[in-house]
Amino acid sequence: MQSELWNLVHKTLNPKKSDVSPNACLNRLTNERLNGTTIALTPDTAVVREELWPTNHLTRLDRKHRKMHDFDDERPIVVVEYGARLILVDGNHRVTRWLASGHNSERRLLIIRLRGEAHDS
């Protein structure tokens, strides 16, 4: 199950040319949001869980910006749970568009957390 969820995380991300892998992209995006703290998220150090949230609950996420694209994108969003924060690392444009739509559909979240923290599976 974990390998399937990690594969889905990696398929959801859009790495830059400078990222050597989708996992490098995940770590770059995460560490950009941690303001000086550096963590390494890998299948050995972290676990992924999938949750469905109503669109209006997405306002709880720590988002980097409120920009949106002018097209629909139904990919899951990638969230890193770090301490008390739920950091949206991939999907800011999608979340902004979904919230603006006013539809309260269920949305797929891939939530990554370091091993050893609450809710380990």
Residue range 15-54, pLDDT digits in tens: 999 999 999 999 999 999 998 899 999 999 999 999 999 9
Give the chain's domain count: 1
25, part of any domain: yes
**pLDDT at residue 121, as a whole number:** 47
Residues with Cβ within 8 Å of 97's Cβ and at least 6 positions away in sequence, in order, are: 68, 69, 72, 73
110, part of any domain: yes
46, part of any domain: yes
The residue range of the domain holding 105 is 2-114
121, part of any domain: no
119, part of any domain: no
Q: What is the pLDDT of residues 68-104, one digit of tens each?
A: 777 678 899 999 999 999 999 999 999 999 999 888 8
